[in-house]
Amino acid sequence: MRIAPFPVVLLLGSSLGCAGHSPVKSVELLDARTGATVAVLKAPIELLPSAQYASLVPHKRVSFAYLGPVEWNRSGTLSYGLWIHIAPGNDGRPGDIHAAAAVTLMLDDGPLTLARMQTPMLGRDPYPPVAPWGQSGYFGLDVETLGRVAASHRLDLEVPAKDGSIMTFSPASDTRPVLTQYLKARGITRD
């Protein structure tokens, strides 16, 4: 998978000395139009469709989902969100993150229903869409909830499909190291 580079200025800070210690680094981007700083993962987390669903459509390209945390810093005022992108395949059941039905993360300690958020107006999205024809959206998080997501062994995304069913997407590997490192890079600790 190739992700297009961000047309913004990378901010390099004192974290360069620690770059070799983290499996995935967070990246700070300066939005030239607004002056806001945005912190994201270097690449979003890819979520695969459930094995049960993928086995039902063996000769088709199935839908995938991607997610990544976002920190917006506007003159010291911080806000957080979760970027979600659905890259529909030709399986006829693309998830619909814009539907009235709930988009949910299933975590170790139970479901987390995500609420859509109005994102800060920037010149460019923090994560570029993986599939230009896909759906992207932002869902609000607070620091405590972001910590809950990072600490969870389970991270299943449930998205309503256009036919009323629920599509489930899961990461191929443990997301805790990546998300925990993101929190540490942002100076967020779980007490």
Task: Encode pLDDT of 143-185 as tens digits.
Answer: 999 999 999 999 999 998 777 788 899 999 999 999 999 999 9
Q: What is the mean pLDDT of the chain?
A: 78
Cα–Cα distance between 143 and 80 in angstroms, integer?
7
- Higher pLDDT pick, 52 / 76: 76
pLDDT tens digits, residue range 2-40? 333 333 333 323 333 333 334 456 788 887 777 888 999
Flag whether 2 is in a domain. Answer: no
Cα–Cα distance between 111 and 113 in angstroms, integer?
6
Contact 126, 38 (CB under 8 A): yes
The beta-carbon contacts of 9-13 under 8 Å, at least 24 apart in sequence, are 11/37
- Give the total number of structural domains in the chain: 1
Flag whether 191 is in a domain. Answer: no
Q: What average pLDDT does range 106-133 have in this prediction?
A: 85
- Higher pLDDT pick, 13 / 46: 46
Flag whether 144 is in a domain. Answer: yes
How confident is the model at residue 24, as a pLDDT? 54
Flag whether 1 is in a domain. Answer: no
- Higher pLDDT pick, 4 / 74: 74
Flag whether 70 is in a domain. Answer: yes
Q: What average pLDDT does range 114-133 have in this prediction?
A: 81
What percent of the chain lies above the pLDDT cut of 70?
Answer: 75
Nearest to 161 by CA among 99, 75, 76: 99
Flag whether 3 is in a domain. Answer: no
Looking from the CA of 52 toward its CB, the CA atoms found within 13 Å total: 4
Q: What average pLDDT does range 85-110 have in this prediction?
A: 80
How confident is the model at residue 7, as a pLDDT? 33
Flag whether 139 is in a domain. Answer: yes
pTM (global) more than 0.95: no
Flag whether 54 is in a domain. Answer: yes
Q: Which domain holds residue 78?
A: 9-185
pLDDT beyond 60 at 62 = yes
